[in-house]
Each structure stands twice: as structure tokens, then as C-alpha cells.
Amino acid sequence: MATNFGETEAYLAEQRLAHEASQILGSVGLSMEELGKKKKVLDLGAGTCQVERAARAFGLRNVVSAGMHFPKEAKAAGLDYVEMDAAQPWKFEKSSFDLIVSRKGPLFHTRTKDEAVFMLEEALRTLSPEGELRLNPLRFGFIKNEMFAKYPRFADLEGQVRHMRSLHDQKEWEKYSLEANLETASRLRSLGYDFSTALPENTSDPIENRGYLVFKK
Ligand SMILES: C[S@@+](CC[C@H](N)C(=O)[O-])C[C@H]1O[C@@H](n2cnc3c(N)ncnc32)[C@H](O)[C@@H]1O
């Protein structure tokens, strides 16, 4: 029996992409169907643009990907990609998006509080009045940095490759990470931000990456 391996490979790649995109969207409490109801969506810190690529396969053209470097995997796909440093003024007009999603994006990588505040203000400026900003995970980089200074052990553990950690070290790292999540929410509130948090249960995300923040205009 003849088998067309090319077609099978393409089918599997499409399935894998759809799965990865649904994990990214799921991490902020959304699905591809919900994405389809939005006018314009920004995937901030898009990595290899799985969300935009899967959206296109789904017939959607409403996603813009953004990140520091246009990934070579995505260049050939003719995507709507914006190279940007979110710590610098964003080139988008105000009210450009009704949804901004970000999993492990710029806010997760912030080094200072001022950088995080700048990015949040830019995100809120570029959201339309009914827009939402959804961020996963719950901890921001600058909070981790502050905690590293307070708990050098956290910095040591963070520097280890996850699958090389002993079970004991992994548990200890999770404890610090969860504390960083709580600290992030509490700091954002003390900075005057209004947002909600959600902690989905039916997810395969590791405990420290479970949960997201939702900011509305
Ligand atoms: C760990 S990857 C996450 C990719 C994808 N969101 C995912 O969940 O698989 C981090 C992404 O954030 C982007 N990023 C980090 N810091 C950034 C910054 N200051 N401005 C814009 N993008 C940034 C990187 O370019 C990259 O696309």
C-alpha cells in the first residue's frame, strides 16, 4: 500500500502547531474560537509565532506577532510580525488592539519595576476601551530579580536546568516561584493597577506557570 509521507508529515506538523497554540492561548484562559471573535490581537513576545500561524490555519487574519527578533522559522510564512523592544515606546497607535496576549513575554523578562510599569502603560494605551491584556505566568522578571537578591538560593536554583534538578531542589524552586507569583500580584496592586487573576485547574501547565493576570482598560 502506497503512503504519502509528505502529506502525513504536513498533517502532523499542523496538528502540533494547533496543539502548541492552544496551550499558549489556554495559559491565558482563551481558545482559538474566542480569538476569532476579536478584531485585532497582539501576541506580545510571540516566540516562533505559533498563535499567529495556527490562527491563519484556522482562517483568521487578526493576529499580529511581536518580539525582539523575527524568528527564521516564521520569516518564510509571510506573517504580520513586528520587531520591537517593549521597553521602548511602542509604534502602535492607541486603541490598536482589543486583545493583547503574552505567555512568558516581555513582562516575564523585565529587569526593573520601571521597565514593567512602562510596558504595562504601553499595553494599556494600545488597547481599545473594551480591550484586555492577558499575561501568563503570574510572576514578572523584576520581582524574581528582587527575590534573587533576598534569597540567593532561588537564583542558584533558577540557574539550574529544570530536568537536572533533584526532586528536592525542584520543590524548593517551585516554592520560591509561587512566592514570586504572590509578590508580583501584591506589588502590582500597590502600584495602583487593577486586574484579576485566574488559576485554571484543568491544565497540564506546571504549578508555577499556572494562572494568568487580566487587565482591562
Ligand atoms: C520565552 S519566549 C516566549 C514565546 C511564546 N510566547 C511562548 O509562550 O512560547 C520570549 C519571547 O518574548 C520576547 N521578548 C522578551 N523580551 C522582550 C522585549 N523587551 N520586547 C519584546 N519582546 C520581548 C522574545 O523576543 C520572545 O519572543
CATH number of the domain where residue 75 is located? 3.40.50.150
The whole-angstrom separation of Cα 6 and Cα 11 is 9
The whole-angstrom separation of Cα 115 and Cα 89 is 11
Q: What is the pLDDT of residue 76?
A: 79
| Integer CA distances (angstroms), 46 to 42, 64, 106, 215, in order | 9, 9, 10, 19
For 59-194, strand residue ranges (E) read: 63-67, 81-83, 97-103, 127-136
Q: What is the pLDDT of residue 74?
A: 77
Q: What is the pLDDT of residue 9?
A: 84
DSSP state of 68: S
β-strand partners of 136: 103
Q: What is the pLDDT of residue 77?
A: 83
Q: Which residue has the cell 500500500?
A: 1
Closest atom of ligand 1 to 86 CA is 20
Q: What is the pLDDT of residue 212?
A: 98
Closest atom of ligand 1 to 136 CA is 8
β-strand partners of 195: 215
Which residues form the pocket of ligand 1, taking CB atoms under 6 Å from any ligand atom?
Answer: 24, 45-47, 67-69, 84-87, 103-106, 109
Output the residue whose Cα is nearest ligand 1's atom 9: 47
| Domain span including residue 198 | 5-216
Q: Give the residue ranges of the chain where pLDDT is below 50.
A: none
Q: What is the pLDDT of residue 204?
A: 85
Q: How far is the CA of 149 from the centre of ligand 1 (A)?
A: 24
Domains identified in the chain, total number: 1
